[in-house]
Structure 1
Amino acid sequence: MEELLGGSVNRVVRVGGTVRRLTGPWTPAVHALLAHLADRGFEGAPRAHGVDRQGREILDHVAGEVPGYPLPAWALEDGVLAGVARLLRDFHDATADFAVDPGLTWYFPAVSPAEVVCHGDVAPYNCVFRDGRPVAFIDFDTAHPGPRIRDVAYAAYRFVPLSDPRQLAGHPVEGQARRLRLFADTYGLDAAGRDALVDTARARLAHLVRHMREQAAAGHPGFASHLERGDDRFYLTDDDHLARHRDAFRRALRAGPGDEPPRG
């Protein structure tokens, strides 16, 4: 048995070719979703195999590299960003006809309009890469029915990334605007989604901070550790960054394929 690194909220161990994780009230919904993805031929997610004698869920171990922070240089390349956008679009399209059982419990409640099932936490630490190419998303605990833009906006925040460059090394604002448009173009985001992306990313950060603080106040040690290291302040700083450069990002998203991204 091997304990896998990176799970600060849930302990994850590898047993042979499987991963074992603690279950929650949302586990049946996640397993139904993973079964649906398998039926649709979507290969970018692990398969679920029930629960073991210790009450842990059993999932396929997806071989590959899961980058952590600080992100390696290869994870900031345009090809990686475009690959994640394509994988996310394929995932969403595969869930569009998922029949949501009203008796299922999700980690987060459904958000209207429920166009697809959102992963809920599309980020480098939940993406498996092989040879620098994204091949699968993992950790579907926060999956829930919702609009595509909820996942697209948060994935863009994480993978562009749209963080304040003063606190997370990456691309300057001009580069962020260009990469944001690349992500939206590769995903095939519609005009309404482009208009809503920046504000949705800000709403997702506000929700993340609120959820983190609520869980820590309820005694969850993983989230308490997040607050101790200042994660809430980090996300609030990034929210300020998105607010300051909102117009530049929105102009970039509206630009035509041959246009240069705006500066500043």
Structure 2
Amino acid sequence: MPGEEVLTGGGVNHVVRVNDTVRRPVGPWTPAVHALLRHLVAWGFTGAPKGHGLDARGREVLDFVPGETADYPLPGWVRTDEALVAVARLLREYHDATVAFPVPADAAWYFPPVEPAEVICHGDIAPYNCVFRDGLPVAFIDFDTAHPGPRVWDVAYAAYRFVPLNDPGHDGACPVEEQARRLRLFADAYGLGDDDRAALVETARARLAHLVRFMRERAAAGDAAFAGHVARGDDRFYETDMAHLATFDWVTSRTPRSDRPGADGGPPRTG
């Protein structure tokens, strides 16, 4: 359409920019997401776009947040310790802002709630859903996958994406000892409690298992975007990373065995 700029990088939705706004497809979860975004504004949290209802074509209207997002292979400025710490702190600020969110009784969510519902998880905290300026994060975007859940459910997936916790056989993966150091740094910056720290890696594995199941279910249901992800091998990529997370001793920073499966290519994305 005239005056619309297609925003590249989206793997599922067709997203366009119109002046200082973004227009995106809606779903049953959109009313709950917009209620959440209004709450964040009232709370004073500035790290999310404001929602402005729907346009004449039935698309949701959101603020365009200027800056850079990152996709794979990740640029070096996303992988600095400073960026990692800042993402963890922004995520903590976001979670704290959602504690008081009055969840609508009729709320529908993209993903079902996960117990205990301590916060409203973003659901897909990743470099491609984070806006950076001067190498530091300023906002999270694409809240479609938001849903109630425990803090660690969101923290574990964010750590997987930003540490990142990839099998060393993947291109660009850092050594496991460095992954362990950066994982501790991320948990420290978030202020993660002892119980959640103990559950962090297993939660990351559970989150990836959830992602693989969802991806395959959507592909089997005829969703072209997710069918493309499966055909590309994204599900097998995640399974390799799940095996890596189970193999490495994250407490002692040792690898008990050396026959971890490997894979080529950069980490896939979900959004």
TM range (shorter): over 0.9
Query: Are 1:89 and 2:96 counterparts?
Result: no
Q: Distance in 2 between matches of 1:70 and 1:218?
A: 29
Report the Cα offset of residue 241 of structure 1.
Answer: 0.6
Partner of 1:134, secondary structure, is: strand
Partner of 2:103, secondary structure, is: coil
Q: Distance in 2 between matches of 1:208 and 1:53?
A: 33
The amino acid that maps onto 1:41 is G
The amino acid that maps onto 2:136 is R
Aligned-pair RMSD on alpha carbons? Answer: 0.9
Q: Distance in 1 between matches of 2:173 and 2:18?
A: 36
Report the Cα offset of residue 55 of structure 1.
Answer: 0.7
**Per-residue Cα deviation, 1:102-152 (whole angstroms, up to 9, x for no partner):** 211011111111110000000001000000010000000000011000000
Query: Are 1:51 and 2:54 counterparts?
Result: yes
Partner of 1:209, secondary structure, is: helix
**Per-residue Cα deviation, 1:203-257 (whole angstroms, up to 9, x for no partner):** 0000000000000111111101101111001000000110111x2x2x16xxxxx
Contact 1:68 1:125 in 2 (8 A): yes
State the match for 2:213 in structure 1. 210
Query: Are 1:25 and 2:25 counterparts?
Result: no
Partner of 1:49, secondary structure, is: strand
State the match for 1:41 in structure 2. 44
The amino acid that maps onto 1:89 is R
| Among candidates 153, 163, 166, match of residue 166 of structure 2 | 163
TM-score by length of 1: 0.94
Query: Are 1:111 and 2:114 counterparts?
Result: yes
Q: Distance in 2 between matches of 1:108 and 1:159?
A: 22
State the match for 2:246 in structure 1. 243
User: For this pair of structures, how many residues does the alignment match?
Assistant: 252
Q: Distance in 1 between matches of 2:254 and 2:243?
A: 18
| Among candidates 146, 150, 173, match of residue 147 of structure 1 | 150
State the match for 1:70 in structure 2. 73
State the match for 1:187 in structure 2. 190
TM-score by length of 2: 0.92
Q: Distance in 2 between matches of 1:222 and 1:24?
A: 16
Report the Cα offset of residue 167 of structure 1.
Answer: 1.1
The amino acid that maps onto 1:107 is Y
User: What residue ranges of structure 1 are gaps of 5+ in the alignment?
Assistant: 253-261
Q: Percent identity?
A: 67
Deviates more, 1:209-218 or 1:101-110: 101-110
Q: Distance in 2 between matches of 1:97 and 1:242?
A: 33
Partner of 1:145, secondary structure, is: strand
Contact 1:76 1:170 in 2 (8 A): no
Q: Distance in 2 between matches of 1:135 and 1:165?
A: 30
The amino acid that maps onto 1:240 is A
State the match for 1:130 in structure 2. 133
